[in-house]
Structure 1
Amino acid sequence: MKRTILALPLALAAALALTACGSGAQEAKPAADGSPATLRIGYQLIPNGDLIVKDQKWLEAALPNTKIVWSKFDSGGDVNTAMIAGSLDIGLAGSSPVTRGLSAPLNIPYKVPWIFDVIGDNEALVARGGVTDVKGLAGKRIATPFSSTAHYSLLAALTEAGLSESGVKILDMEPPDIQAAWQRGDIDAAYVWTPNLAELQKNGGKTLVTSRELAQRGKLTADLAVVRGEFAQKYPKALQVWLQQQDRAVKLVRSDKATASAAIGRQLNLDPAEAARQLDQLVLLDAAEQRSADYLGTPSAPGKLAENLHNAAEFLKTQQKVDAVPELGVFQKGLATQELTDAFAGN
């Protein structure tokens, strides 16, 4: 799944304007069956199950009395801003933005009910101009969306290589802007995700390190779902339906890769073969795997994702990206394990 805190006021104003113009500043009355009148979803162009749900219109079919509003975001930082503004009910954000969202000064009242994917080779640091390793980036211009999983991984890669943040010039750019800057020759390297990553790799980008490799060395990142706490409490059945459709998408990937790839390809404007290639770069988890100890866990035993987010907060504190590191319990409470369990009761 990303903006700096300093950029928050401007982005927040934009999100508030979006709320007023798009979804409505006040929540519409529930439908007669108690389902929400509107479900506002923030998605990103990442080749995972969320795009399958969107493409197949499963939510629209499963919640016929609810208007499903899909809004595209370029980063998790912008999703955080929209959540603060109250203009989203469910969104996709990387583990780094979610870590910041659950930490001070943001303290966003949301929970994580689902892991869209564990980030692998689809997010990487690429460079050109003869740079062959991370150490070779000293003094270079590196673009990444600030506060994103890519930013977190970039800082981890630099630290691992013995480079300080001040030893390079890091530029805050959204993925489409990174691709444009690369084409103009304005940057030397970038840490970003597909589909923009694939374009950089096609145009002279040498991969220096991937998020899969960093995860193997203890810096795991993931794309997470966040649900507004008030929405989850008020509309538990709608959230259960949403979770069931996400699980359905993961199972489609495993049972019918061609159909799943075609759906993702339509959403990303890619041919199915390329969509399948990008899909293979991610690790997708079904509901049973989500409830395991390695990930979200259960209400009585929160999973290791909470520890991962806590570790990320400790790292971000050293980089002065969060004010303080919350207790582990804050991240454990931030996992919507009861909601996930309820959605698949009996399965």
Structure 2
Amino acid sequence: MNRPPSYTRRRWLGHGSALLAAATAGAPWRPAFAEGRPEQLRIGYQKSASLFVHQKSVGSLEKRLAPLGVAVKWFEFPAGPQLLEGLNVGAIDVGYVGEAPPIFAQAAGARFVYIGYDPAAPQAEAVVVPKDSALKTVADLKGRKVALNKGSNVHYLLVKLLEKHGLSYADVQPVFLPPADARAAFERGAVDAWAIWDPFLAAVEKQTGARQLADGRGVVNNYLFYLAERGYAERWPQVVKALFDDLGEQGRWVTANVRQAAEKIAPLQGLDVDVVERSLRRYPLGVQPLTPAIAAEQQKIADAFLELKLLPRPVRILDALPAARLAGAA
């Protein structure tokens, strides 16, 4: 069995360093601002961040930030934990991740704030098995190998699904792999199941006939979060507001034009249009500022990971909210 993640600061910063170097090749490592104004907004995104991918494809954020003299740079990461590493070491200024990565990152001392979230998307993540697998229920996973990205949103999904079906996290053998490696292991039968999110979920379902044992409905919320490096957010709120406004505007367009949006996004994600469309329909968009209620939901996840000894120390989610939001949380 793989050992559970022990996210001390040193080990966490070392995790995925090669992936980080590849994702940020050519990235400027000087501060992202010049005297009096920021030079750029560096955005970390994943294939699952379809709204960011859409914004990148149409250049809407570049147009919005041009009057401020701010350039936009885009850097792709394989998953949330690697993206958070990039945020922590100063390679990017903002990013978009699932529920778990910010918790592990905060436990490791990363300096960021939650700047927004999208509505719950429990159908956008699931545990899948090959179409001809003998496994029929989550309870059948006892003693089996389950691939997942360490510290990602599906880490919590797996914990809660096992709990719901009378198993503990210790009852399975987690195999920690990023999505591309997990897909390869899944297809060659090196693992029995895969806990994964969209669009990778939609792709493996359509392309291999993979079956869901369960998705997140009735078990997890699967909120998606927009994060910013704390210093950047505090120094350049006008840039963060422009990003937030553009996310709202483009999110409304994607929601009203799902098929057309999928056709724009698919080439950049390297996926079939039908796969991207299926994924978009499982990810409701509608960015909102983080509230104390949503922070409380995050706190439940942090407490669950601490109880499982997956975190090195307690995490207080409210410490990662912008000061303006804390007034309503006292």
* TM-score, normalised relative to structure 2: 0.86
Partners of 1:18 and 1:130 lie apart in 2 by: 38
Q: Residues 1-347 of structure 1: matches in 2 within 5 Å?
A: 5=7, 7-11=11-15, 14=18, 22-27=26-31, 29-30=33-34, 34-46=36-48, 48-64=50-66, 65-102=69-106, 104=107, 106-128=108-130, 129-202=133-206, 203-214=208-219, 219-286=220-287, 290-291=288-289, 296-297=290-291, 302=292, 304-326=293-315, 330-336=316-322, 338=324
Per the alignment, do residues 191 and 35 of structure 1 end up closer, same or farther by CA in structure 2, a change over 3 Å counting? same
Are the counterparts in 1 of residues 6 and 312 from structure 2 also a CA contact under 8 Å?
no
The number of residue pairs the alignment matches comes to: 315
Are the counterparts in 2 of residues 82 and 88 from structure 1 also a CA contact under 8 Å?
yes
Partners of 1:39 and 1:244 lie apart in 2 by: 15
Q: What SS class does the counterpart of residue 282 from structure 2 fall into?
A: coil
- Report deviation, 1:269: 3.0
CA RMSD of aligned residues (A): 2.6
Percent identity (aligned) = 23
- Which AA in structure 2 matches 1:332? L
- Unaligned 5+ segments in structure 1 are 340-347
- Which AA in structure 2 matches 1:267? L
Q: What SS class does the counterpart of residue 212 from structure 1 fall into?
A: coil
Q: After superposition, what is the alpha-carbon deviation per residue over 1:176-208, rounded to whole angstroms, capped at 9, x for unaligned?
A: 111111121111101001222223324242211
Q: After superposition, what is the alpha-carbon deviation per residue over 1:109-133, rounded to whole angstroms, capped at 9, x for unaligned?
A: 1111121452222210012421000
Q: 2:328: which partner in 1? A: none
Q: What SS class does the counterpart of residue 276 from structure 2 fall into?
A: helix
Are the counterparts in 2 of residues 44 and 74 from structure 1 also a CA contact under 8 Å?
yes
- Report deviation, 1:162: 1.8
Are the counterparts in 2 of residues 19 and 85 from structure 1 also a CA contact under 8 Å?
no
Are the counterparts in 1 of residues 7 and 312 from structure 2 also a CA contact under 8 Å?
no
Are the counterparts in 2 of residues 47 and 275 from structure 1 also a CA contact under 8 Å?
no
Per the alignment, do residues 83 and 4 of structure 1 end up closer, same or farther by CA in structure 2, a change over 3 Å counting? farther
- Which AA in structure 2 matches 1:228? E
Partners of 1:179 and 1:21 lie apart in 2 by: 25
Q: What SS class does the counterpart of residue 315 from structure 1 fall into?
A: helix
- Report deviation, 1:90: 0.2
- Which AA in structure 1 matches 2:236? Y
